[in-house]
Structure 1
Amino acid sequence: MKDSLRQSMALLHTWSGLLLGWLLFAMFATGTAAYFQDEITRWMQPEVTGDAEPATAAEGAMRYLNSVAPDAKSWYISLPNSRSATTQVYWQPSGERPAKRVETSALLDRGGHAITSRETRGGFFLYRFHFDLHYMPVLWARYLVGVAAMFMLVAILSGVITHKKIFADFFMLRFGKGQRSWLDAHNVTAVLALPFHLMITFTGLVTLASMYMPWGIAANYAEQTAFSEAVFGRSAETVPSGRHAPLADLGPLVRNASARWNDERVGYISIANPNDAAALIEMSRAPEAAFGARGQTATFEGATGRAIGTHQATGSALATESVMIGLHTGRFAEWGLRWLYFLSGLGGTVMVGSGLVLWTVKRRARLSDPSCPHLGFRIVERLNIAAIAGLATGIAVYFLANRLLPLEMVDRAEREIDSLFLAWLGIGLWGILRPAGRAWTEALAIAGACFAAIPLVNAMTTSRGLLPSLLAGDWTFVAFDLVMLVLAAGFILAAVRSAQLRTKAKAGAKPRSANRRATSA
C-alpha cells in the first residue's frame, strides 16, 4: 500500500510540476524580483535622488495639483515610503473627456516639483507580471495563474509524500553525478525553504480567492458593492456643491492620521471634489506599516480638515485574509527579512527550474538512442531552454533597455517591456534552431553576458555607476549592480558546466559506438 501510494504521488508530482512548470518558473522569478520592486524602480530612474517625508511630500503634491488641475474631479496621491523617494500624483479632469490626450499624472520630488525622469514601469512591471502576465486580458491571466498555483500546491504536497528520503538527501548534495546531482539540487532547494514555498503558494491563491471562489460573497451580500463597503468602508456623499472652498493643508492632516495609527505612515491620499465646499479627503495607511494588508482609513472634510471618522475591516475572515495577503507580498518586511524572502524565492525558482531539467535528464537515460529522442522529449527540452535561459535574458535586456533606449522615445516604458519579450522570444527560437546541448551552453552564456553588461552600461550612461555609488554610500545602486554581477557569474558558470558535460558525453559516446561496431563485426 505504501509503495502504491508513493508511486501514485510520484506520478502526480511529476505531471503537476511539468504541465505548467514553465509558467510557474516565470511567476517565481518575477515574483521574487518584486520583493525589491521599489529598489528596482529607483535604479531604473537614476535621475531621482534624495528621500522624502510623507507630510512634506503631501504638501508639495497639493501645491502642484493646485497649479495644474485645481478644478479636477478628483486627486490621488501616492506618498513616498521608506524605500521610495518620489510622490506620484494622478487626477481626473472634470467635465467631458477631452478630444485629445492630456496628461493626468506626474512624478514629484519632496518639494512638489515635477521630475523629468525617463519613462519606465520599473519594478512594478515585474510585480504585476507575476500574476497579471502581459499581452492578454487580465481576467484570463489571473485564472491561468490561479490554475498554475493550484498545480504548484499539489506538486509540493505530493513531492513531500513521494520523496521518503527528502530530508536525508538534503544533507547529501553531490556534484558532477548527472541525474543524482539534479535530484539533489531539486531536493535541497525544496527542503531549505519548504515552509516558505507552502506559504507563498497558498497565500498567493488567497490574494485572488474572491475571484476564484465568489460564492461566499454572493451568499452573504446582496451586491458586490455591499461587500466592498464592508471591507474598504463607505465614503460619505461626494457630489460637488458648486461653491469654491480651498482645501485644508494636507501636512497637518497626514500627521493627524499617522498619530491615530500609532505613528504608522500614511501611504495614499484620495481627494474627491478638490477646492469645493463638499470636498472629501480620505487617507489610507501605508502597506509597509503593519503585518496585515487591509489597512485603516481616515476621512476628513476637505474645506475644514475636520475628522469625519476612521474605518478598518473587521471580522475574523477579513483579518485572516489581510494577514495572508501581507505575508505573500512581504511589504512589512525590514531589510533582513526582505532578503530572506528574496533568497527563499530564488530557491523556489531554482526548485522549479531544476525539476523541469530533471524531467529530461531522467528520461534521456532511458532512451534507447539518446541522439534521436521522441517528439515530446524534444518539446520539453526546448521549452526548458526558452523558459529558464530565455526569461533570464529577457529580464537582463529589460534593464539594459532602460539605459540604452532614447529618453524621448514615444511610449518608452512599453518599448522596455517589449524588449524583454523580444529577447525571450529570440532565445526560444535559438533553442529550437540549435542542437539542444549547444543551445543550453550558448543561451546560458548569453544570459550571463547580458547580466554582466548591466553594471558596465549603467556606469557608461549615468553618473551612478558602481564605484561612484560606493563612494557616495548609495547602497541601492551598489546592491543592484552587485546582484547583477552575481547572477552573471552564476549563468556563466552554468554555461561552462554545460559545455563540460557535453564534451564528456561525446567522449563517452565514442567508445560505445566502437563497441557496437565490433560486436556487429
Structure 2
Amino acid sequence: MKTTFRKSMIWLHTYVGLLAGWLLFVIFLTGTLSYYNHEITHWLTNGKHSPHSQQVLLDNALSKLHVEATNTKRWQISLPDERGSGYRVSYREVNAEPNGKRAKRVSREIDPVTLEFTDRQQIQGGNFFRTFHYTLSLRQWGGRYVTGAAAMAMLIALFTGIYTHRRFFKDFFTIRRNEPKKFTIDLHAMLGVVTIPFCFVICASVMLIYISMYQPFAIGHYFDSYRALDKQVSTSHKPLQPAKQIADEPIEIKSYQSQLNELLGQHWETKYTLEGLTISNPMDNNAQLVFAKAKHELLSNKAETYALARSGELLPEIEAERTPRMVRRIFYGLHEAHFAPPALRATLFILGMMATVLIATGMVIWLQKRQAKQGKQGKQAIQANQVNQAKASYVFVEKTNNGMFYGLSLAVGMYFLCSKLILAASSKGTFNSLGSLSGIDTKVFFITWLVAVLLSWLQAVKQGKKCLLLLNFITFSTLLAIELGSSNLMSVFSLSKENVLAYSFDNSFDHSFDLAKATINFWLLLTCGYFFTALKKTIAKPSSTSAPSLPPLKEARR
C-alpha cells in the first residue's frame, strides 16, 4: 500500500488505465463512430433522401406487406429520416422452428426513392460499429460483460484521475509544446478536464442500461427470466383481442388522415414526424395500429406513441412508467444521443474523439515515464540483463500501442473502402446480389486490424509506426478521392457565393444537398489531414526519439 491516499489513487489510476487502456480505446473509438451510424450507413450504401411524403412511404410499405406477409401477427415499418436511417419492413413468421426457438424475424430494406425492395441491407455500414462497441462481436460469449467491466474501469480511472490531476485550472491552461514528453502529459490533463462529464455520463449509462444483466440475482429469484421482468415493468398499449375475421379492405393510411392531423399536426406527412408504424393482427378486422413519433425532442429512448383501432378509434394512452425505468430510459437516450441536432451531434463526436485521445495519451505517458527511468538506470550501469529485459517489454508495449491505435483506424478505413467497392461491384453487375458478399466487409475489418498489429510487432518501432501512418493516409485519401469523383461535391465547389445558400437549402425539392454525406466527407477530410501531419512529423523525427539510449549489451557486461 502507498504511503498516502493520493499516491494510492495515482497508482490505481495508472494500472487500471494500463490494464484496460487498449480495450477502452477500441470501445470509445467505435462508440464515437456510432454517433454517425445512420450517416455512415447512408454514405456507404450511396443512399438518397426520399422525395416522397411519409404517407406515401407508409402506404407503399403496407402494400408490400399485404403481398409478402399475409400470414403474420405483426408488421413493423421503419421510416427514413433526415439522418439517412433505413426504410424497411419487418415481420416474424408465424410457425415456430421445430427446436422450440422463436420464429425467424424477416427484415427487408426498401429504396426510399424507387420504393422497391433492395438488398443494400447486406452492407452493415455504421450499425457494425454500434453493435461492436458494446458486444465486441462476442454477443454469445459475454461481450457485454467485458464492455461493462471496461466501463467500470473507466469510472475508476476518472475518479482516481481527479486526485492525480487535482489542480484542474493550472493543468488545463498549461501546454508545453516545445517539450514532447511534457506536452503529452499536459494534453492528457487538459483532455481529462474537458471530458470528465462526458465520460462519466457514457460509462454510468452503460451500467444503468445493462443493470439487470450485471445484477441478475434478484431477477433469478423473483422472475423466470429477464424478458419476464421486462414485460412486467414496461408499459405499452393494451392489445386488442382479434375478431378472428379477415378484413375486407387492406389498411391504407389515407383512411386515418383526419385522426393523424389532429394528433400530429397539419402537414405531418411532409416532415420527419413519424419514426415508424407497428400493426398487430394486420389482416384481422380488429387490427391495432401504433404510430411512433420521432425522438427528436426526447431525452428518453422510448418514443411517444398513439394507438388507433382499424376503425379509426383513438385507443387509450399508455400508462406512465415507474421512475427507475424512466431514469434508465433517459440515460439510454443520453448514451445514444438520438435527440441531438447536427451541431450537438458534432460536439458529442468531438468529445468522444477527445476521450479516445485521452486514453491513448495515458498509455503513451506510462511508457514514456518508464523509458526515461530506464535510460537513467542504463547510465548508472545497473545489471545489464535486467535492463535488457525491461527494454524488451517497453518496446513490446510501444509496438502494441502503434498496432492497436493506428491499426484500428486503418481497419475502419479499410472497412469503409471495402463497403464502397462491394456496392460498386454489385451495381455494375459483377455479382448477382449483395447477399453473396454479406460479411466480407467485417472480415476485412478484423483481418486488417490483425495484420496491422503483426506488422507493428515485426518491424522496428519507428518503421512500423511510419508504415501504419502511410497506409492510413493512403486508405482515407482513396476514400476521399472516390467521394470527390462520385458525389456532387465538385458541383458545390463550382457554385458562386450567391448560389451556395440556395443550393444548400434545396433539400425540400430535389434533395441535391445531402447533409449526412457532407458530414461524413467533412470528417474524412480532417482525418486525411491528421494522418498527413502525423506522417510528416514521424519522418522528420530522428530515429533515436523512441527511448533514451542504453549502453550496448557487451559494454554493460564488462
Amino acid at match of 2:520: F
- Contact kept, 8 Å, 2:79 with 2:275, in 1: the verdict is yes
Q: Does 1:297 align with 2:310?
A: no
CA separation of 1:97/1:183 partners in 2, compared to 1, >3 Å: closer, same or farther? same
1:508 CA drift (Å):
7.8
Shift of 1:104: 4.7
Cα distance, 1:280–1:469 mapped onto 2, change above 3 Å: farther
Q: Percent identity?
A: 24
Report the equivalent of 1:430: 455
**Number of residue pairs matched by the alignment:** 511
Contact 1:54 1:254 in 2 (8 A): no
Aligned partners of 1:150 and 1:258: how far apart in 2? 47
Query: With structure 1 as the length reference, what TM-score do the two structures score?
Result: 0.87
Higher relative contact order (CA 8 A, sep 6+): 2
Classify 1:442/1:412 alpha carbon distance in 2 versus 1 (closer, same or farther; 3 Å): same
Q: Deviations over 1:405-453 (max 9, x none)?
A: 2323544341111111111111011011111222122212222221121
The question of whether the paired residues in 2 share the 8 Å contact of 1:268 and 1:285 is answered with yes
- Equivalent runs, 1:230-241 vs 2, <5 Å: 230-233=233-236, 235-236=238-239, 241=244
- Residues 403, 458 of structure 1: 8 Å contact kept: no
Q: Conserved in 1, the CA contact under 8 Å of 2:396 and 2:457? A: no
In structure 2, do the counterparts of structure 1 residues 340 and 419 end up closer, same or farther at CA, with 3 Å as the change threshold? same
Matched residue, 1:9 = 9
Unpaired runs of at least 5, structure 2: 99-103, 379-386, 496-511
Cα contact 1:79–1:88 (8 A) shared by 2: yes
Counterpart of 2:527 (choices 472, 487, 490) is: 487
Equivalent position amino acid for 2:35 in 1? Y
* In 2: Cα distance, 1:83 partner to 1:315 partner: 31
Aligned to 1:414: 439
Q: Determine the structure 2 residue equivalent to 1:273.
A: 281
After TM superposition, list the pairs within 5 Å mapping 1:35-184 onto structure 2: 35-84=35-84, 86-95=86-95, 104-109=107-112, 112-115=115-118, 117=120, 119-134=122-137, 136-138=138-140, 140-184=142-186
Q: Displacement of 1:109 after TM fit?
A: 1.5
Matched, 1:446 2:471: yes
Distance in 2 (alpha carbons) for counterparts of 1:212 and 1:506: 42
Q: Which amino acid aligns with 2:461?
A: A
Please tell me whether residue 389 in structure 1 is matched to residue 406 in structure 2.
yes
- Matched residue, 1:191: 193
Compared CA separation, residues 469 and 56, structure 1 to 2 (3 A): farther
RMSD: 3.3
Spell out, residue by residue over 1:467-501, the C-alpha distance to the aligned partner (whole angstroms, 9 max, x if none).
Answer: 24656533432332221121122123223323344
Note closer, same or farther for the CA distance 1:283–1:507 as it changes in structure 2 (3 Å cut): closer
Distance 1:503 1:222, change over 3 A: closer
List per-residue Cα deviations over 1:122-148 (Å, max 9, x = no partner).
Answer: 1111111111221x2346010000000
> For residue 282 of structure 1, what is the aligned residue in structure 2?
290
Within 5 Å, give how 1:229-268 maps onto structure 2: 229-233=232-236, 235-236=238-239, 241=244, 243-250=246-253, 253=256, 256=259, 260=263, 265-268=273-276
Q: State the partner residue of 1:22.
A: 22
- Give a deviation string over 1:236-269, Cα, whole Å, max 9, x none: 2666725344343235658846854788933232
Is the CA contact (8 Å cut-off) linking 2:188 and 2:362 kept in structure 1? yes
Match of 1:499 in 2: 539
Aligned match of 2:506: none
Q: Which amino acid aligns with 1:172?
A: T
Offset, 1:374? 4.5
Equivalence for 2:499: none
* 2:398 alignment partner, SS class: helix
> Contact 1:17–1:151 at 8 Å: present in 2 too?
yes
CA contact (8 A) 2:372 2:547 kept: no
Aligned with 1:203 (options 202, 205, 213) = 205
Q: Secondary structure at the match of 1:91?
A: strand
Structure 2 counterpart of 1:344: 351
Equivalent residue, structure 2, for 1:403? 420
Alignment of 1:356-367 (within 5 A): 356-367=363-374
Q: Quick one: distance in 1 between partners of 2:105 and 2:362? A: 49
Structure-2 separation of matches of 1:478 and 1:393: 22
* Counterpart code for 2:315: I
In the aligned structure 2, how far is the partner of 1:21 from the partner of 1:482?
29
Question: Residues 209 and 437 (structure 1 numbering): CA distance in 2 closer, same or farther, change over 3 Å?
Answer: same
- Aligned residue for 2:77, secondary structure, equals strand
Structure 1 residue runs of 5 or longer lacking an equivalent are none
In structure 2, the residue corresponding to 1:283 is in which secondary structure? strand
Alignment-mate amino acid for residue 349 of structure 1: T
The letter of the residue matching 1:143 is: Y
Letter in 2 for 1:169: D
Q: In structure 2, give the amino acid aligned to 1:357.
A: V
TM-score (norm 2): 0.82
Give yes or no for contact 1:283–1:297 (8 Å, CA) kept in 2: yes
Amino acid at match of 1:487: T
The 3-state SS of whatever aligns with 2:122 is: coil
Does structure 2 retain, via aligned residues, the 8 Å contact 1:170–1:191? yes
> Is the Cα–Cα contact under 8 Å of residues 34 and 127 in structure 1 kept in the other structure?
yes
CA distance in 1, matches of 2:9, 2:402: 27
How far is 1:377 from its partner? 2.8
CA distance in 1 between counterparts of 2:176 and 2:516 reads 35
C-alpha distance in structure 2 between counterparts of 1:9 and 1:259, whole Å? 59
CA distance in 2, matches of 1:489, 1:9: 38
